[in-house]
C-alpha cells in the first residue's frame, strides 16, 4: 500500500522542484521514486495470495494489484525516459508534466486495487482529470486543444454512465463493497432489475474508458491531437489499468450473472475488432493507425473478460504487457522519425532501414509483436486470448479473431515494407542514448517473453 | 545425443554469420550448413530404422500451459531432416557466384529458416510445431521481399498473408485439441490418443487442412505460388520449393490425418480430387508458359499434387512413395531452379522463345540439364520414377480411375519438360545464346552432386525407403485401428 502513498507524494515533490527551478532533478527524482514504488509493491508479493482488504475494505492490494501496478509503473518509467528533451521542446512548465503523469499513475494504482465501487470511481477520476490536462498541454496547438476538450466532454459523459451504474448497483445490493455485492448476486434468488440495468451502465462507462466500439469515437482524435508521449501513455498504461479495473469488477461481483452480460460483451468485442482493424487499414498517418490498432487490441483484451475464468487475469496481464511494450517502441520511433520529417505519415518511415538500421529493427520487432507473430510477446498474448475463448466454446468468436488478425497484417506490415523496401532521400535519423536504451530494452523484453514466457505465464 | 543439437546449431550459426563481412559470410554459412549436414549423417548412422522415436528431447518450456520442448526423430522425420540438411548447403553453394548486398543478413535468414524447418520436422509438441512453422515463414518473407524481383513487395505480402491465414486456423485447431486432452498438454501422442466424434474431427481436419493445403499448395489455394516463385531470388525459390512446401506434406502425414482420422475419412474424396485437379490444371498451364522459372513453378504444383493425392489415399505404398518423392522432388526442383538461375544470369532472360541451341556452346550444361529433366519427368532409373511409381500404386489401391487421371502427370510432365529442353538447348544457336559460357566452379559442383543423387537414388532407392518403412507402416496401422474402433469400416 506504500506504493500508492509514495506515488502520491512524488508529484508534490516534483512540483516543489519545479517551483525552485531544479529542472535537471525532475527526471531522476521521478524515475528513482517510481523504482522505489515498484520495489515496495513487489515486496508485498505473497504466495499463496493472502492479502486482506485494507482501509476499512476500501482497497485490496493483492497479487493481482501488484502485478498490474508493476506493469503500469514499468511502462510509465519507460515513457518518462523517452520524455527526456521532449517536454522541454513543447512547453516551459515541465515540472507539471511529470507531476500530472504521476498523479494519473496514482489514480491507476487505485483502479487496480479498489475493493469498493467508490474507490473505483475515485481512481478513474484521478486518472481521467489528469489526462484531460495532459491531452491539452500544448496550449497553443489547435489539435491538442481539440483533443483535450473532446476527451473531457466524452470522459465526463462516460463517467456519468459509470456513476449512474454504480448507484443502481448500490440501490439493488445496498453496498459499494465488492464482496457484499457478490454475496447479493449469489444469494438473492430474483435479482432486482435495477441490478441488471446497473451492470449495463457500468459496461457502457468502462467501454468508453478502454475505447471499445461503439464507444470509441473519442479515441482517434484524442490520440492524434495529444502530444505523442501522452498518447503513448494513454494507449498503454491507461488502457491496461482500464482492463484491470474492468476485470476485477466483473470477476469479483458479476461472474454469477455472466449469462446476462457476456453476450453483450461478445458483440462489443466483435464490433471493436472489425471497426478497429478495418479503419486502421485506411489510415495514412502512422499515429492514427496506432490509435485504431489500439481499438482493435481492446477487442482482443475483451476476450479475457468474455471468457471469464481463473486464467483471465493472467491473460490480460500478458497481453497488456506485450501490447504496452510494443506500443512504446512504436511511439518512441514515431517521435524520432517525426523530428526528421515533420510528418507522421507512413511515407516518413520510407527507407528507415538505411537511415537507422537499429530503429528499423526494433520497430520491426514491435510491429511483428503487435501482429502476433510467434517468437514475440504479442503471439503469447494472442495465444492466451484464443485459448481462453476456446475454453468457453466460443469457437466462432475465435474464427472472427483470426480473420481480424489476418487483416491487421496489412497495416502492420505497411510500416515494415516502408522501412525496408521503399527508399527515400533523407538524412540519417539519430537515436539519442535514452531512446536507444528504452527501445532496445523493450525489444529485448518482447523477444524474451516470446521465446520463454514461462516466467510471466502463471504470475497471478 | 539429442535432436536439440540439430535444432539449435542453425540458430547459433545464423547469429554467428551476422558477424562476418560480405564474402566471409558466404563461406561461414556454407561451413555451418555442411557441419549441420555432417551431424545429420551421424544421426542417420546411429538411427535404428524401426517405428520408434529416437534422439528425443523433452524439456519444460511453459509447463503451466502444458508446453514442452518435445522433439524427436522417427523414420519419417529422418527423411525430412536429411532433405533439409542436404539441400541447405547445396542452396548456399548455388549463391556462390552471386553478389547479394547485405550478404550476412541473407545467409543468416537462410540458416534461421533452416532451424524453423527442422523444428517443424521433428516437433512432437503442438505449440513447438506451430512456433517452428512460423519461424520458417518470417525469414523467407524477408528473403523474398528484400532480394526479390520487381513486383516483390505486393507478391510477397500476398504470400505472407495467405500462409499466415492458414497457419492461424491451424493454431486454432491445435489449441482445440489441447483443450480436449485430459492432461491439458500439447503432446502429440496425447493428441493421437484422443477419441473425438466425427463432427469435431471434421472441424480439426479443416483447421489443419487449410494450413497445409495453402503451404503445399493444393488447388485452389495455389494462387500465391507461381508469382512468389517467380519473384523470389533463386535461393529463396529453392528454399520454398525444395524444402518449405514439404512442411505442408509432412504436416498432413504427422498432424492432420492421425489427429483427425474420422474427419479425414469424411473429406478424403474431396482432398484427393482437389489434389488431382491441381495436377491436371497446373500441367495445362505449364504448357503455356514462356517464362522458364514460371514453367518450373507450375510443374512443381503438378508434382506436389501427385504427392498429396498419394498421401490422401492413405496406404503404406502411397505414403512410402510420398516420402521418397519428397526427397527426390526437393533435389530435382533445386536443380531445375538452379538451371534457370544460371540461364537468366548469363543471358538476362528467362523467355524460352528467345533461347535455343545452348547445347552446342555448353555441352556439360546440356548433360546435367538433361539428367535433371529426366529425373523430373520420372524416367526409370532416375529418382523421380520410384516415387511416382509408388504414389500411383497407392492411389490405384484407393481409386483406379483417379489413379489413371493422376498418371497423366507423367505424360504431361514429359511433354512440357522435354519441350522446354528442346526449345532451350537444341535447335539453332542465336546471337544471344552464342554468348553462353559453360558451367564452371561451384556450379559444376552443385549440379554434379544433384546428378549423382538423381541417378544414385534412381538406381538403388532401397536405403532411403528402408529409413521410413517401419514408421510409415506403424502410422498407417494405428490410424486404421482408430478408424475401425470408431466403427467406420
Are the Cβ atoms of A410 and B175 closer than 8 angstroms?
Answer: no
- 3-state DSSP assignment of residue B182: coil
Q: State the best of B11, B62, B174, B179 to mutate against chain A, taking most chain A CBs within 10 Å.
A: B62
For the record, the C-alpha cell of A117 comes out as 465501487
A404 contacts on B by Cβ (under 8 Å):
none
Beta strand B54-62 with B67-73 is antiparallel
B179 contacts on A by Cβ (under 8 Å):
387, 390-391
Interatomic CA distance for residues B220 and B218, integer angstroms: 6
Judge whether residue A34 has pLDDT over 90.
yes
Q: Which of B135, B169, B175 sits opposite A375 (nearest CB)?
A: B135
Our CA-based measurement puts residue B142 at a distance from the nearest CA of chain A, in whole angstroms, of 9
Residue ranges in chain B whose pLDDT is less than 50: none
Task: With both helix axes pointing from N to C terminus, report the angle between B363-376 and B442-459 in degrees, rounded to the nearest 10.
Answer: 40
Q: Which of A374, A402, A409 sits opposite B134 (nearest CB)?
A: A374
Q: What is the pLDDT of residue A118?
A: 93
Are the Cβ atoms of A402 and B172 closer than 8 angstroms?
Answer: yes
Chain A residue with minimal CA distance to B135?
A374
Residue A403, C-beta contacts closer than 8 angstroms, at least 6 positions apart: none
B169 contacts on A by Cβ (under 8 Å):
402
Chain B residue with minimal CA distance to A420?
B146
DSSP A423: -
Contact A200, A165 (CB under 8 A): yes
Judge whether residue A237 has pLDDT over 70.
yes
Our CA-based measurement puts residue B261 at a distance from the nearest CA of chain A, in whole angstroms, of 21
Q: What is the pLDDT of residue A460?
A: 67
Average pLDDT over residues A411-436: 85
Provide the terminal-to-terminal Cα distance of chain B, rounded to the nearest Å: 42
Our CA-based measurement puts residue A99 at a distance from the nearest CA of chain B, in whole angstroms, of 40
- 3-state DSSP assignment of residue A297: helix
Q: What is the pLDDT of residue A457?
A: 67
Report H helices in B47-125.
Answer: 75-94, 103-122
Q: Residue A114 phi/psi, 5° resolution?
A: -70, 150
**pTM of this prediction?**
0.92
B153 contacts on A by Cβ (under 8 Å):
417, 421
Chain B residue with minimal CA distance to A450?
B131
Are the Cβ atoms of B138 and A373 closer than 8 angstroms?
Answer: yes
Provide the terminal-to-terminal Cα distance of chain A, rounded to the nearest Å: 18
- B113-117: long-range pairs with CB below 8 Å, 24+: B113/B139, B113/B140, B113/B143, B113/B239, B113/B244, B114/B10, B114/B33, B114/B36, B114/B84, B114/B85, B114/B88, B115/B7, B115/B8, B115/B10, B115/B11, B115/B14, B117/B84, B117/B243, B117/B244, B117/B247
How many residue pairs from chains A and B have C-beta atoms closer than 8 A? 70
Q: State the best of B156, B171, B214 to mutate against chain A, taking most chain A CBs within 10 Å.
A: B171
Are the Cβ atoms of B60 and A417 closer than 8 angstroms?
Answer: no
Q: Which of A374, A390, A409 sits opposite B131 (nearest CB)?
A: A374
Average pLDDT over residues A18-26: 84
Interatomic CA distance for residues A409 and A293, integer angstroms: 11
Residue recorded with cell 535444432? B7
In whole numbers, what is the pLDDT of chain A averaged over residues?
A: 90
Chain A residue with minimal CA distance to B144?
A421
Residue B196, C-beta contacts closer than 8 angstroms, at least 6 positions apart: B180, B204, B260, B262
- Burial status of residue A52 (CB atoms within 10 A of its CB: 0-12, 13-18, 19 or more): exposed
A368 contacts on B by Cβ (under 8 Å):
138
Interatomic CA distance for residues A351 and B287, integer angstroms: 41
Residue recorded with cell 489449441? B175
pLDDT tens-digit map of A167-221: 999 999 999 999 999 999 999 888 888 999 999 999 999 999 898 888 888 888 8
Contact B438, B366 (CB under 8 A): no
**What percent of chain A is predicted at pLDDT more than 90?**
55
Are the Cβ atoms of B169 and A402 closer than 8 angstroms?
Answer: yes
B134 contacts on A by Cβ (under 8 Å):
373-375, 379
Rg of the Cα atoms in chain B: 21
Q: State the best of B69, B135, B157 to mutate against chain A, taking most chain A CBs within 10 Å.
A: B157
Our CA-based measurement puts residue B141 at a distance from the nearest CA of chain A, in whole angstroms, of 11
Are the Cβ atoms of B134 and A457 closer than 8 angstroms?
Answer: no
Average pLDDT over residues A396-419: 90
Q: State the best of A374, A385, A395, A423 to mutate against chain B, taking most chain B CBs within 10 Å.
A: A374
Chain A residue with minimal CA distance to B129?
A374
Chain B residue with minimal CA distance to A354?
B102
Q: What is the pLDDT of residue B335?
A: 93
Q: Which of A368, A406, A457 sits opposite B168 (nearest CB)?
A: A406
Are the Cβ atoms of B175 and A383 closer than 8 angstroms?
Answer: yes
Judge whether residue A299 has pLDDT over 90.
yes
Chain A residue with minimal CA distance to B132?
A374
Q: Residue A345 phi/psi, 5° resolution?
A: -80, 165
B131 contacts on A by Cβ (under 8 Å):
374-375
Our CA-based measurement puts residue B378 at a distance from the nearest CA of chain A, in whole angstroms, of 39
Q: Which of A327, A335, A317, A261 is nearest to A296 (CA)?
A: A327
Chain A residue with minimal CA distance to B152?
A421
Are the Cβ atoms of A454 and B64 closer than 8 angstroms?
Answer: yes
Amino acid at each position: 500500500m506504500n506504493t500508492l502513498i509514495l506515488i502520491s507524494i512524488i508529484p508534490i515533490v516534483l512540483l516543489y522542484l519545479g517551483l525552485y527551478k531544479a529542472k535537471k532533478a525532475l527526471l531522476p527524482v521521478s524515475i528513482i521514486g517510481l523504482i522505489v514504488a515498484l520495489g515496495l509493491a513487489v515486496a508485498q508479493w505473497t504466495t499463496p495470495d493472502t492479502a486482506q482488504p485494507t482501509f476499512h475494505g476500501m482497497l485490496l492490494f493483492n497479487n493481482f494489484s501488484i502485478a498490474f501496478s508493476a506493469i503500469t509503473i514499468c511502462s510509465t518509467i519507460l515513457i518518462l525516459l523517452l520524455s527526456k528533451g521532449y517536454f522541454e521542446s513543447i512547453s516551459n512548465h515541465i515540472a507539471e508534466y511529470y507531476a500530472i503523469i504521476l498523479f494519473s499513475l496514482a489514480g491507476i494504482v487505485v483502479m487496480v486495487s479498489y475493493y469498493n465501487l467508490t474507490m473505483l470511481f475515485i481512481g478513474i477520476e484521478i486518472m481521467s482529470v489528469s489526462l484531460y490536462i495532459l491531452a491539452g498541454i500544448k496550449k497553443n496547438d489547435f489539435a491538442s486543444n481539440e483533443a483535450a476538450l473532446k476527451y473531457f466532454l466524452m470522459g465526463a459523459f462516460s463517467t456519468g454512465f459509470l456513476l449512474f451504474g454504480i448507484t443502481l448497483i448500490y440501490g439493488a445490493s445496498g453496498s459499494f463493497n465488492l464482496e457484499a455485492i457478490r454475496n447479493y448476486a449469489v444469494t438473492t434468488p430474483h435479482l432486482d432489475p435495477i441490478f441488471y440495468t446497473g451492470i449495463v451502465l457500468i459496461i457502457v462507462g468502462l467501454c468508453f474508458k478502454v475505447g471499445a466500439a461503439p464507444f470509441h469515437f473519442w479515441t482517434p482524435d484524442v490520440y492524434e491531437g495529444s502530444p505523442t508521449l501522452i498518447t503513448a501513455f494513454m494507449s498503454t498504461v491507461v488502457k491496461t489499468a482500464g482492463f484491470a479495473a474492468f476485470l476485477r469488477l466483473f470477476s469479483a461481483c458479476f461472474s454469477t450473472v455472466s449469462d446476462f452480460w457476456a453476450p453483450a460483451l461478445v458483440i462489443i468485442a466483435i464490433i471493436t475488432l472489425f471497426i478497429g482493424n478495418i479503419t486502421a487499414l485506411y489510415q495514412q498517418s502512422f499515429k492514427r493507425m496506432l490509435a485504431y490498432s489500439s481499438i482493435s487490441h481492446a477487442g482482443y483484451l475483451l476476450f479475457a473478460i468474455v471468457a471469464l475464468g481463473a486464467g483471465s487475469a493472467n491473460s490480460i496481464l500478458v497481453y497488456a504487457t506485450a501490447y504496452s511494450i510494443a506500443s512504446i517502441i512504436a511511439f518512441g520511433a514515431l517521435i524520432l522519425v517525426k523530428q526528421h520529417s515533420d510528418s507522421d505519415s507512413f511515407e516518413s518511415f520510407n527507407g528507415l532501414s538505411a537511415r537507422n538500421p537499429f530503429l528499423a529493427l526494433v520497430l520491426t520487432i514491435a510491429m511483428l509483436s503487435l501482429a502476433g507473430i510467434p517468437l514475440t510477446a504479442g503471439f503469447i498474448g494472442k495465444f492466451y486470448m484464443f485459448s481462453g475463448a476456446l475454453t468457453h466454446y466460443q469457437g466462432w468468436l475465435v474464427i472472427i479473431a483470426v480473420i481480424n488478425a489476418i487483416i491487421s497484417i496489412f497495416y502492420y506490415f505497411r510500416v515494415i515494407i516502408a522501412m525496408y523496401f521503399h527508399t527515400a532521400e533523407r538524412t540519417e535519423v539519430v537515436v539519442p542514448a535514452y531512446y536507444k536504451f528504452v527501445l532496445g530494452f523493450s525489444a529485448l523484453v518482447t523477444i524474451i517473453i516470446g521465446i520463454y514466457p514461462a516466467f510471466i505465464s502463471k504470475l497471478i | 545425443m539429442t535432436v536439440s543439437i540439430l535444432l539449435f546449431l542453425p540458430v547459433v550459426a545464423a547469429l554467428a554469420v551476422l558477424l562476418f563481412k560480405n564474402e566471409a559470410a558466404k563461406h561461414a554459412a556454407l561451413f555451418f550448413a555442411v557441419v549441420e549436414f555432417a551431424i545429420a549423417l551421424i544421426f542417420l548412422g546411429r538411427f535404428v530404422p524401426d517405428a520408434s522415436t529416437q534422439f528425443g528431447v523433452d524439456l519444460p518450456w511453459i509447463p503451466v500451459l502444458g508446453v514442452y520442448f518435445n522433439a524427436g526423430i522417427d523414420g519419417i522425420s529422418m527423411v525430412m531432416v536429411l532433405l533439409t540438411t542436404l539441400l541447405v548447403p547445396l542452396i548456399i553453394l548455388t549463391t556462390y557466384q552471386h553478389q547479394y548486398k547485405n550478404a550476412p543478413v541473407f545467409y543468416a535468414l537462410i540458416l534461421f529458416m533452416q532451424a524453423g524447418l527442422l523444428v517443424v520436422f521433428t516437433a512432437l509438441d503442438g505449440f513447438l510445431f506451430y512456433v517452428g512453422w512460423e519461424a520458417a515463414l518470417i525469414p523467407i518473407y524477408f528473403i523474398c521481399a528484400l532480394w526479390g524481383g520487381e513486383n516483390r513487395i505486393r507478391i510477397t505480402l500476398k504470400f505472407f498473408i495467405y500462409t499466415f491465414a492458414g497457419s492461424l486456423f491451424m493454431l486454432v485447431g491445435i489449441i482445440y485439441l489441447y483443450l480436449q486432452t485430459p492432461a491439458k498438454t500439447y503432446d502429440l501422442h496425447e493428441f493421437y490418443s484422443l477419441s473425438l466424434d466425427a463432427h469435431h474431427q471434421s472441424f480439426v481436419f479443416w483447421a489443419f487442412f487449410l494450413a497445409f493445403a495453402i503451404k503445399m499448395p493444393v488447388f485452389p489455394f495455389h494462387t500465391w505460388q507461381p508469382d512468389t516463385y517467380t519473384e523470389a531470388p533463386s535461393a529463396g525459390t529453392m528454399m520454398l520449393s525444395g524444402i518449405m512446401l514439404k512442411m505442408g506434406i509432412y504436416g498432413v502425414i504427422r498432424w492432420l490425418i492421425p489427429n483427425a482420422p474420422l474427419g479425414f475419412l469424411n473429406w478424403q474424396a474431396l482432398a484427393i480430387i482437389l489434389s488431382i485437379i491441381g495436377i491436371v490444371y497446373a500441367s495445362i498451364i505449364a504448357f503455356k508458359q514462356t517464362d522458364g522459372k514460371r514453367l518450373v513453378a507450375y510443374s512443381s504444383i503438378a508434382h506436389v499434387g501427385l504427392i498429396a493425392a498419394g498421401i490422401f489415399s492413405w496406404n503404406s505404398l502411397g505414403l512410402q512413395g510420398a516420402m521418397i518423392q519428397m526427397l527426390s522432388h526437393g533435389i530435382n526442383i533445386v536443380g531445375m531452379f538452379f538451371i534457370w538461375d544460371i540461364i537468366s544470369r548469363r543471358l538476362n532472360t528467362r523467355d524460352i522463345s528467345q533461347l535455343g541451341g545452348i547445347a552446342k556452346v555448353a555441352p556439360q550444361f546440356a548433360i546435367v540439364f538433361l539428367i535433371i529433366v529426366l529425373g523430373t519427368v520420372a524416367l526409370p532409373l532416375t529418382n523421380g520414377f520410384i516415387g511416382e511409381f509408388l504414389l500411383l500404386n497407392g492411389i490405384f489401391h484407393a481409386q483406379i480411375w483417379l489413379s489413371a487421371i493422376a498418371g497423366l502427370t507423367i505424360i504431361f510432365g514429359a511433354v512440357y519438360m522435354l519441350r522446354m529442353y528442346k526449345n532451350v538447348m537444341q535447335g539453332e544457336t542465336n546471337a544471344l545464346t552464342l554468348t553462353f559460357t559453360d558451367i564452371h566452379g561451384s556450379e559444376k559442383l552443385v549440379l554434379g552432386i544433384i546428378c549423382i543423387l538423381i541417378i544414385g537414388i534412381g538406381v538403388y532407392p532401397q536405403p532411403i525407403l528402408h529409413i521410413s518403412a517401419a514408421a510409415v507402416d506403424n502410422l498407417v496401422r494405428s490410424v486404421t485401428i482408430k478408424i475401425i474402433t470408431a466403427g467406420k469400416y
